[in-house]
Amino acid sequence: MTDQRTYLEVKRTVDDRALNRRVLERFVEGLDARSSPVRIVEIGAGIGTMIARLAAWDCLPDEVAYRAVDRDAESVRYARERVPEWLEDAGYAVERLEDDRGGTTLLARSGGQRLEVTLEVADGFEIEDRADAVIASAVLDIVDLERAVPAIEALLEPDGLLYAPITFDGGTTFAPPDPADDRIERRYHHHMDAVRSAGGSRVGRELLWRLPDAGWSVLEAGGSDWVVRPRAEGARAGTETETEMEYPDGERSFLEGLLETIDGALAELETDERESGIGDLEPAERRRWLERRRNELESGELVFVAHNLDVLARPPE
């Protein structure tokens, strides 16, 4: 079974490729227009990969106070170990400060830039703060929007920015094709919509009308599809022409974790599907499909695509 922290770390490169550059550039322009220091709050920060990405890609203003919160204590503990290393890799000199309550603050400097990062265990929809920007990456599709949107509005300055990248929007595709693919996808999305406690399978597009209905302005939006595929990694031993296909940057672990998630969701649905009249996928067929996909993953043949949206919005005046 893939560890959650490992899954999140290898997902970093998948997200790197997926992020919509047009939406990101508009977000960076908005941050640059703010007065220093710019205060950013990230909700559901996980292990801190967004902090590392923005620093490495030179997306941050000269002076930033960055508050990263997540409900999972193990993810925050891992972030406290890894974020200093990632910031140093990005060219920052990092000083680590611990407070009496077990919190961690990182003071990172690079040239004329100063980045202060706090990493804490908290529910981002219950904290009190005022921020120039709120980041919710791969978050809004797994929470209750009726709770999340007002909470984010309460955090933001009146002309602040909500950056919500990698918001799932209704596409889970594998290749090579299999006769069970459509049924697998339909049930997996049904689990998101009807069984999981919050969120849904089409939240990306939902934001595009829910936010305006609540008085928000959607400034930019665009696709940010995950695409994970094997790459040629050189000649196989004993041959001159064949190449071995491998997944870059440990992304095999990402796909292993994803297959586990899908299998768990479908197994949970099996009784409910028969009761609701959509039970045309037998358990044996699910197991056959999963075994095939794992074999393809092992042999470097499996391709995965998921459709996401990145959204940048401003709260009501």
- 271, pLDDT greater than 90: no
Give me the mean pLDDT over the 247-265 stretch. 95
Identify whether 52 is part of a domain.
yes
Beta strands in 37-137 (DSSP E): 38-43, 63-70, 93-98, 104-110, 113-121, 131-135
Question: Domain with 150 in it: what CATH number?
Answer: 3.40.50.150
Q: CB burial class (10 A; 0-12, 13-18, 19+) of residue 242?
A: exposed
Predicted local confidence at residue 81, as pLDDT:
95
Tell me if 133 is assigned to some domain: yes
Confidence band for 273, pLDDT divided at 50, 70 and 90: low
Tell me, yes or no, whether 90 lies in a domain: yes
Determine the pLDDT at residue 317. 85
- As a whole-number percent, the residues of the chain with pLDDT over 90 amount to 84
Mean pLDDT to the nearest integer, 14-34: 98
pLDDT in tens, 279-312: 578 899 999 999 999 999 999 999 999 999 999 9
Indicate the number of domains in the chain.
Answer: 1
287 within a domain of the structure (yes/no): no
Between residues 1 and 82, the one the model is more confident about: 82
Answer whether residue 105 is part of any domain. yes
pLDDT at 102: 62
Whole-Å CA distances, 208 to 142, 205, 214, 231: 17, 5, 11, 35
Degrees to nearest 5, angle at CA 148 with 193 and 254 = 55
* 298 within a domain of the structure (yes/no): no
Average pLDDT over residues 224-252: 78
pLDDT at 270: 80
- State which residues form the domain around 29: 4-167+199-225+309-314
- 130 assigned to some structural domain: yes
The verdict on residue 119 lying in a domain is yes
Do the beta carbons of residue 117 and residue 68 sit within 8 Å?
yes
